[in-house]
Amino acid sequence: MNIAIIGATGNVGRKILEVLGKKGLSISNLYLVASSKSAGSKIEFKGKEIKVEDIETFDFKKADITFFAAGGKISQKFAPIAAKYSTVIDNSSFFRMDSDVPLIVPQVNAHQLDIIKKNIIANPNCSTAQLVIALKPLHDLFVIKRVVISTYQSVSGGGKAPMDELIEQTRSVLENKKVESKNFTKQIAFNAIPHIDEFEENGYTKEELKMTNETKKILDNNIEVTATCVRLPVLVSHSESVNIEFKKPISIEKARYALDNFQGCKVIDERSDGGYITPLEAQGSDTTFISRIREDDTVDNGLNMWIVSDNLLRGAALNAVEIAETLIKNNSYGK
Ligand SMILES: NC(=O)c1ccc[n+]([C@@H]2O[C@H](COP(=O)([O-])OP(=O)(O)OC[C@H]3O[C@@H](n4cnc5c(N)ncnc54)[C@H](OP(=O)(O)O)[C@@H]3O)[C@@H](O)[C@H]2O)c1
């Protein structure tokens, strides 16, 4: 198995490396690729130093599976080239809504990997991945009619530069210095910004529309989804407050049991001080945590819950590597 990671020096790329190391996949050659800026630098993998290569000169023929984690423009330009020789697993949003590209969260819709037309598979947006994992077992039980989501997203969702900026801004505020915002539209330290990605004409942001469209593509086109996405001064892990209306009558006990037994999910919901999960506790964990499950009696068959997951793992690297594992199991990767 020859694997390449494009964007290996970034947040997601480094996490893909970490997950590959933990999973123990049998890798013959691992190629780490980034921009000319970091070409030549070295990254350690399993005790061996690997030199980062420049994407402009990288030979895509060398890989069987190529992970892309370098942004939409790089995926747009290079993923079709890589896909001639290897199966591409793309973390950017560029191919997600392409009807010829499966958008996959393996425990939810691995069956959609049966047809891979362009040799490209898309990894969903980080907020969507953790959402659909928690919606799937409930949809199977009670059939979802409508979902309303408010997100509380960490700055790592924007890459490594926003993480550095949050720390810098926090220091500036505490030291009474002038705060500069480079990666955010307003000060992020000690604040909340209801704006992630660009605005569309209808007033929604692209991040909000990604959640709607991707959830429908992965889970069920009949579900109505609406979202408000907010950036918080949290380094890692996204949280979501989710309100769901079902077609069938619900049972909170059945919902808790199904969520707790779904692959990758865990219910922590003690209805007492601290009996729920916060972003800090989810950081570094492969698990999507569900807390605050309760009936919403303002609508028929309504339920509220709180979902927290490490956005760099479930929302990106872990999901991407689990797609690769599924492809390897199905023996459906490569040229
Ligand atoms: N962060 C998340 O939670 C998350 C979740 C799901 C999907 N994603 C997606 O994953 C991708 C990467 O996100 P990230 O958070 O890892 O960003 P990041 O930390 O900013 O890292 C970006 C990576 O892309 C490389 N890169 C930038 N410009 C390049 C160029 N011209 N040619 C080659 N490589 C280039 C960088 O290499 P240099 O070091 O050489 O600049 C770096 O390795 C994005 O498409 C993002 O939307 C992110």
pLDDT given at position 335: 83
Q: What's the gap between Cα 52 and its chain centre?
A: 24
Q: What is the pLDDT of residues 201-233, one digit of tens each?
A: 999 999 999 999 999 999 999 999 999 999 999
Q: Which pLDDT belongs to residue 72? A: 97
Q: How far, in Å, CA of 220 to CA of 322, rounded? A: 21
Counting beta carbons within 10 angstroms of the beta carbon of residue 322, is it exposed (0 to 12), middle (13 to 18) or buried (19 or more)? buried
Q: Is the CB of 38 under 6 A from ligand 1?
A: yes
Q: Hey, is 136 helix, strand or coil?
A: helix
Q: What is the DSSP letter of 123?
A: P
Share of the chain above pLDDT 70, in %: 100
> How far apart (Å, rounded) are the C-alpha atoms in residues 5 and 131?
26
128 lines ligand 1 (CB under 6 A): no
Residues 244 and 157: beta-carbon distance below 8 Å: no
For ligand 1, the distance from its centroid to the CA atom of residue 9, given in whole angstroms, is 8
Determine whether 238 is an active site residue: yes
Q: Cα(53)–Cα(28) distance, rounded to whole angstroms?
A: 17
How far apart, in Å, are the Cα atoms of 269 and each of 253, 288, 289? 12, 13, 9
Pocket flag, ligand 1, residue 124 (CB < 6 Å): no
Annotated active-site residue in 139, 229, 238, 265: 238
Strand positions, DSSP E, the chain: 2-6, 29-34, 42-45, 48-54, 65-68, 87-90, 120-122, 144-152, 224-228, 238-246, 265-267, 288-296, 302-309
Q: Residue 65: what pLDDT? A: 98
Measured CA angle at 3 (ends 214, 12), to 5 deg = 45
As to burial, measured by CB atoms within 10 angstroms (0-12 exposed, 13-18 middle, 19+ buried), residue 328 is middle
Hey, which of 5, 6, 9 would you mutate to test ligand 1's pocket, going by the most ligand atoms within 8 Å of its Cβ?
Answer: 9
**What's the pTM value of the predicted model, to 2 decimals?**
0.96
**Residue ranges of the chain with pLDDT lower than 70?**
none
Closest CA to ligand 1's atom 12: 69
Q: Are 189 and 78 in contact (CB under 8 A)?
A: no
Pocket test for ligand 1, best of 91, 236, 288, 322 (most atoms within 8 A of CB): 91
CA–centroid distance, 282 to ligand 1, in Å, is 22
Confidence (pLDDT) at 115: 85
126 is catalytic: yes
User: 162 CB less than 6 Å from ligand 1?
Assistant: no
pLDDT tens column, 137-194:
999 999 999 999 999 999 999 999 999 999 999 999 999 999 999 999 999 999 999 9
How much distance in Å is there from the Cα of 34 to the middle of ligand 1?
9
**Hey, is 317 helix, strand or coil?**
helix
For 46, counting Cβ atoms within 10 Å of its Cβ (0-12 exposed, 13-18 middle, 19+ buried), the class is: exposed
Residue 6 CA: nearest ligand 1 atom is 34
